[in-house]
Chain A
Amino acid sequence: MTSPDSAVVVDARGLRCPAPVIRLARAARDVPAGTELTVLATDPAAVHDVPAWARMRGHELVSATEDDGVHAITVRTR
């Protein structure tokens, strides 16, 4: 992960769809535009749903990685 120390991390490990996207959306509401948000999720649906959410909301998808079943998906808010 390339997020700086100030990056916001949303821990949604163990949560099932659509909870990871909802947690991420709540975090996105509370930060200024241009903030990088990283969501950690174990639900495989998050891999598809976070980018689709970002597209619908106009956020930018920065990166998506997986390590030992934990997906880390980073978006930059608009």
Chain B
Amino acid sequence: MFLDAGGRAPLLPQARAAFVEALDQGWADPRRLHTEGRRARMLLDGAREAIASVVGVRTEDVDLAPSHTAALHSAVLAVAAGRRRVGRQVVVSAVERAAVHAAADRVAPDARVAVPVDRFGRVELDAFVAAVEGGGVALAALQHANGEVGTLQPVAAAHEAARRAGVPLLVDAGASLGHVPVGPEWDLLAGDAGDWGGPAGIGVLVTRPGVRRSPDRPDDEDRWFPGGVSVPAALAAAVALQVAEADRAAQDSLRRALVDRIRDRVGADVPDVDVVGDPVDRLPHVVTFSCLYVDGEALVGGLDALGFAVGSGSACTSSALEPSHVLAAMGVLTHGNVRLGLPRDLAPADVDRFLVALPSVVARVRDAFGVAGL
């Protein structure tokens, strides 16, 4: 049972069909002027148009990137380059994606201004506003929702403050698009096709007219993402977003209720557990909890052995051997962490099977470490 859909959800069948169809119709290089090239170009433009329509923007404001990470890097670096005369600070929440933090660090060694979050992972709005208004700010970045813990961020208020200060706001909607309404309160918007049920390898960057950007890469016909993207992947991403959007309300109520059940049952059935993130003001499909005295790697492995695929923000489960900077910034346990991203159409009975299995897996890992009575 796949319970790790955050950032890489199972490919929607309609997206798969569109991908296969586009392999036949859109295999050619869209930059070429012959019939085959023009057909590929038409499909690519159609994909941008469809994505623009779902987001509610003009097609020419939509750029397709080879990944969500590349979209975020470009947003930060190109705006910082375009506004370098204004300042070089990049104001971010402490729980932005690593790609945003890393890109801000690339602007200048001291460019990144990270604003703390509360216990739910929500940015401290007053501090964020003060930092944005502080002067010398090239760009501010606040995610729409945190993909690790689900908490929605106060983007409307942050955008209002950024607008007053004349600072463009990048909103990373990589965990939100296709799941919750994203709203119009942003100047740059990033999205991730792999998260909404499209293929991996397509990111989206939408830029409002008037936001000053300078290319940070060598010149190319594709100005912001040199080399362009795969046409079949772009088409499949657009189809997936349309499907996800059409089905959003039904998937919201289904998964929101399942997350509520998981939050209640995990808190009641597993001793010494921290169920983290905002319990109400959150994404419908993301839930995270940390189990005291439990090795995250053993927990993920024990669940996998029973057929449950889950994510984790614990250090021992990451290649970097560093704990999740999101959990760390929230001040919650980073070890023994389980991160669930519920896929669409998940059967409630499957969630119940997981909830029955979890307490005994946790108990087994704890027994192995001899932590009873601590």
Chain A residues with Cβ below 8 Å from B331 are 48, 51-52, 55
Measured CB to CB, the closest approach of chain A to B329, in angstroms, equals: 9
Q: Is the CB of A21 within 8 A of B274?
A: no
A interface residues (Cβ-Cβ under 8 A, vs B):
16-18, 21-22, 25-26, 29, 43-45, 47-49, 51-53, 55-56
Which chain A residues lie closer than 8 Å to B352 at the CB level?
A: none
Q: Which residues of B contact A47 (CB under 8 A)?
A: 328
Task: Tell me if A25 and B315 are in contact (CB < 8 A).
Answer: no
Query: Is A16 touching B332 in the complex (CB atoms < 8 A)?
Result: no
* 11 A-B pairs with C-beta separation under 8 A: A18-B292, A18-B335, A18-B369, A26-B374, A44-B323, A45-B335, A47-B328, A48-B327, A48-B328, A48-B332, A56-B333
Pairwise interchain contact B316-A16, C-beta atoms closer than 8 A: yes
What chain B residues lie within 8 Å of A29 (beta carbons)?
Answer: 373-374
Most chain A CB within 10 A, of B290, B292, B314, B322, is at: B292
Complex Cα distance, B295 from A22, in Å, reads 11
Give the contacting residue for B293; candidates A16, A21, A43, A55; CB below 8 A.
A21
Inter-subunit contact A17/B369 (CB<8 Å): no
Query: B336: nearest residue on chain A (CB-CB)?
Result: A18
A52 to B292 CA separation, bound complex (whole angstroms): 9
B129 close to A (CB within 8 Å): no
Which residue on chain A has the smallest CB distance to residue B333? A52
Q: Which 6 residue pairs across A and B have the least CB separation, nearest first?
A: A18-B335, A25-B374, A17-B335, A48-B328, A52-B333, A45-B323
Is B251 positioned at the interface, with any CB of A under 8 Å from its CB? Answer: no
Per-residue CB contact flags for chain B residues 265-301 toward chain A (1 = under 8 Å, else 0) read: 0000000101000000000000000101111100000
Q: B330: shortest Cβ distance to chain A, in Å?
A: 9
Smallest CB gap from A18: residue in B? B335
Q: Pick the most buried of B290, B294, B333: most chain A CB atoms within 10 A of its CB.
A: B333
Chain A, residue nearest B328 (CB): A48
For the complex, what is the distance from the CA of A62 to the CA of B315, rounded to whole Å? Answer: 25
Considering the chains assembled together, what is the distance between the CA atoms of A26 and B373 in angstroms? 9
Name the A residues within 8 Å of B335 (CB-CB): 17-18, 21, 45, 49
